[in-house]
Amino acid sequence: MKIVIALGGNAILQKGEKQTYSTLIKNIKKTCKSIIHIIKNNKVVISHGNGSEIGYLLLQNEIAKKEIPAMPLDVLGAESQALIGYLFEEQLRNTLRENKIDLPVANIVTQVLVDKNDKAFKNPTKPIGPFYTKEQSKELIKKGFKIVNDARRGYRRVVPSPLPKKILELEVIKDLISKKVIVIAAGGGGIPVYLDKEKLKGIEAVIDKDYASQLLANSIKADLLLILTGTPYIYLNFMKKNQIALKKLTTKQAQDLINQGEFQDGNIKPKLQAAVNFVKISGKKAIITSPENAVKALNNKKGTLIIR
């Protein structure tokens, strides 16, 4: 089976953790162990988020701008994609060896085409970087940043998140899959680029990882889109006394919930919408669950299943 595994930011950094090298290694190693048995028996492409990492790079830009020239958001996307991709490749190779699995791994720094006139540039919604207190958020708003309360977990900066149109390295990715290579691609949603008189240019944005993963999954004709996030299921009334785990949804049921405003931008909403889009186009299925429940989800024992 051909599977795209889309890893959320929690696979890299948990809420409240500092982005230290040891913390990144610990979390990535744990995630690799959670998905190794899926990798062993399937053709797998792995994508990953970069919300925390690119946010920290932006902070570094801000702090150091008097001494070091700041880089635009697309370059920071490339930096974070390579940073996380390298660590995933390293720990995945280690986990493969530990399990006596002889498969090659390749990390592809991926460019993704967007429309420079996408309405997202006028309405930033993509949360990036660390969580802030309400008091800290007020100070950032004074500096001109747009801040939102991210799913009641805390305050975060948001940036434009245009829809992905085309993965430029697609043919390379397809070729690697055909050679049974485990591919890491479209990290952080890919580097946002657009065409200007037939020339590629980067643009200040962060593409949503789940939409990019869905595009990738449909483009390679995957049999399953597996989206791994911080919870074992999608929930109605999340983090409230009356929260309800959603175990199985048709695309119509899921789309109705999205249209009714049940989920927030930048969190569960894009995950569920990406799953719906994938299933509608492919006729296959999508699952949303946590990394530690990934294997159980494939055996229909955990996770929110989205079907036609």
pLDDT tens series, the chain, 308 aa: 999 999 987 778 776 777 789 999 999 999 999 999 999 999 999 999 987 888 889 888 878 988 999 899 999 999 999 999 999 999 999 999 999 999 999 999 999 999 999 999 998 888 777 778 888 888 878 877 788 887 566 788 888 999 999 999 999 999 999 999 999 999 999 999 999 999 999 999 999 999 999 999 999 999 999 999 989 999 998 888 889 999 999 999 999 999 999 887 667 899 999 999 999 999 999 999 999 999 999 999 999 999 99
Q: For the range 56-64, what are the long-range contacts, defined as Cβ-Cβ under 8 Å and sequence gap of 24 or more?
A: 56/19, 56/129, 56/130, 58/128, 58/129, 58/157, 59/129, 59/130
- 279 contacts 249 by C-beta, under 8 angstroms: no
Measured over the CA atoms of residue 48, residue 296, residue 274 and residue 183, the dihedral's sign is positive
Residues 223 and 11: their CA atoms lie apart, in Å, by 23
- The pair of three-digit structure tokens given for residue 235, joined into one six-digit string: 């929930």
Q: Looking at residue 162, what is its pLDDT?
A: 96
Q: What is the pLDDT of residues 154-181, one digit of tens each?
A: 788 888 999 999 999 999 999 999 999 9
Q: Cite the active site residues.
A: 9-10, 126, 209, 271
- The pair of three-digit structure tokens given for residue 135, joined into one six-digit string: 């008091």
Q: Looking at residue 33, what is its pLDDT?
A: 96
Q: What is the pLDDT of residues 91-103, one digit of tens each?
A: 999 999 999 999 9
Q: Looking at residue 55, what is its pLDDT?
A: 82
Closest to 131 measured CA to CA, from 235, 14, 12, 262: 14
* Residue at 154: amino acid letter: G
- 165 contacts 114 by C-beta, under 8 angstroms: yes
